Amino acid sequence: MTTHVKFANTLSAAPCETCPACNAGHLRKLGINMENWDYVVALAGNPNTGKSTIFNALTGLRQHTGNWPGKTVARAEGGFAHGDKNFKLVDLPGTYSLLSTSMDEEVARDFILFGRPDVTVIVVDATHLERNLNLVLQVLEITNRAVVALNLIDEARRKKLTVDDRRLTRDLGVPVVPMAARSREGVPDLLQTIHQVATGQTVGKPHRIKNQHKILNQAIDTLAVKIETLFPGLPNARWVAMRLLDGDERLIQAVQRGELGDLQPGNLAQANNAPEIPLEVAS
């Protein structure tokens, strides 16, 4: 089923912030080698929502597992071709939030924020939508290049739950693809949607929570301007400002060390020699 949504018709970021060539350096520092790949796609989601099932459905045998650079957190990478493009798919750890309260959350958050994937697929469980939307809204605070994979719709049907995916698409402002990944239902639609978002044919206009408190808004604005000046090209300075005001230690350190902009020193940059995964790209 194809979903329809009203999208903005221009990219919000300058081309150099998101173009694959410029981003390859950031990705390399996060252990992702982009040689021979056109786009990188991140797979995020709560635990047990079917991420690995979707990962396997998209990549088949073209996958490789290892660890995140400098971390004990497992990472799976794979590849697939769609249209005339080659996509690298990175399975992020299952998380309920991106608030960096655990190693898994930190890895997922850093990858979406610093790796600037061309598309982030957020896998949600259609039978536990409310709980899962927490992560969706957090990812949408960081990026507009997102697709929601509304998985386990077969389970939802069995439980006589109906999810209005068109309404959800409209309310979230990014494409929502209903799926039952275990039986490959919705997989072609997901591939198509990833392709559209990666190539810029579809540009999301995500729902972002508007903070009503004037003083807080002013503080966020003031801080965001400073962050933008210090780290030009950072994808979402307002989000970083909010996290700093919230006392996010990891981000405070990243700002203090100058890590936020170029990722040169510090914990993120231990993977310059990450091996390329031996994937054959299907033609």
Binding residues for ligand GTP, per CB under 6 A? 45, 47-53, 94, 151-152, 154-155, 180-182
Per CB under 5 A, 101 contacts Mg ion:
no
Smaller CB distance to ligand GTP: residue 45 or 235? 45
**Which listed residue (13, 22, 52, 192) binds Mg ion by CB under 5 A?**
52
Task: From the list ligand GTP, Mg ion, none, pick the one residue 234 interacts with, judged by a Cβ distance below 5 to 8 Å according to partner type.
Answer: none
* Least distance CB 55 / Mg ion (angstroms): 7
- 183 or 253, CB closer to ligand GTP? 183
Residue 115's binding partner among ligand GTP, Mg ion, none (Cβ under 5 to 8 angstroms by kind) is none
Q: Tell me how crowded residue 229 is: count the other CB atoms within 10 A of its CB.
A: 9
Q: CA–CA separation, 281 vs 263, rounded Å? A: 29
CB of 127 to ligand GTP, least distance (A): 9
Instruction: Give all strands (DSSP E) within the chain, no chain letters.
Output: 39-45, 63-67, 74-82, 85-91, 119-125, 146-151, 176-178
Query: CB of 69 within 8 A of CB of 270?
Result: yes
Asked if 199 touches Mg ion (CB under 5 A), the answer is: no
Which amino acid does the sequence have at 204? G
Please choose which of Mg ion, ligand GTP, none residue 49 contacts, taking the beta carbon within 5 to 8 angstroms, the exact cut-off set by kind: ligand GTP
Residue 103, amino acid: M
Q: How far is CA 230 from CA 110, 131, 233, 251, in A?
A: 19, 36, 10, 14
